[in-house]
C-alpha cells in the first residue's frame, strides 16, 4: 500500500514539474510577441500559474494550523478533475485521443475518470 501511495505521489510530482517547466520563466522576446498563438499560450500559462498561486495562498490561510490536511492531494484534485473533464469534452469522449493529449496511458486515464466519477 505504501509503495502504491509513493508511486502516485511521484506521478503527481512529475505532473506538476511538467506544468511548471512549460511555463515561461522569462519575459517573452520580441520575436515571440509577434506570434499571436505563442503569446496567447504564454498568457494562458501565466493565468493558470497565478490562479494556482492564489488558490494555494488561500488554502494556506485555511489549513495553516491543520498539519494533517493533505494540501497536495487537495490542489491536485482541484486541477486534475476539470482538466480531465474538459479534455474528454474536447476529444468527444475518445479516451485514446484524450490520453494522447494528456501524455498519459489510456489505462491511467480510465482509472482517473473513475476516481473523479467522470466516466
Domain with 77, as residue range(s), is 50-63+70-119
Q: What is the CA radius of gyration of the chain?
A: 17
The answer to the question of residue 78 being in a domain is yes
Report the C-alpha gap between 97 and 41 in whole angstroms: 21
The answer to the question of residue 103 being in a domain is yes
Report the C-alpha gap between 53 and 39 in whole angstroms: 21
Report the C-alpha gap between 71 and 68 in whole angstroms: 9
The answer to the question of residue 43 being in a domain is no
Q: pLDDT digits over 71-98, tens only?
A: 888 888 889 999 999 999 999 999 999 9
Lowest mean pLDDT among 19-23, 38-42, 86-90: 19-23
- Residue 83 is predicted with a pLDDT of 95
The answer to the question of residue 81 being in a domain is yes
Residue identified by cell 512529475 is 14
The answer to the question of residue 114 being in a domain is yes
Query: What is the CATH number for 107?
Result: 1.10.10.60
Residue identified by cell 494528456 is 102
Name the domain count of the chain.
1
- Residue 72 is predicted with a pLDDT of 84
pTM of this structure: 0.60
Amino acid at each position: 500500500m505504501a509503495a502504491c501511495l509513493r508511486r502516485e505521489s511521484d506521478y503527481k510530482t512529475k505532473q506538476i514539474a511538467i506544468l511548471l517547466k512549460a511555463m515561461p520563466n522569462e519575459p517573452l522576446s520580441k520575436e515571440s510577441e509577434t506570434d499571436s498563438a505563442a503569446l496567447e499560450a504564454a498568457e494562458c500559462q501565466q493565468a493558470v500559474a497565478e490562479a494556482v498561486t492564489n488558490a494555494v495562498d488561500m488554502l494556506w490561510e485555511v489549513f495553516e494550523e491543520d498539519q494533517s490536511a493533505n494540501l497536495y492531494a487537495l490542489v491536485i484534485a482541484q486541477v486534475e478533475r476539470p482538466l480531465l473533464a474538459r479534455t474528454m469534452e474536447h476529444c468527444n469522449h475518445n479516451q485514446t485521443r484524450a490520453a494522447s493529449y494528456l501524455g498519459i496511458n489510456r489505462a491511467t486515464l480510465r482509472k482517473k475518470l473513475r476516481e473523479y466519477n467522470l466516466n
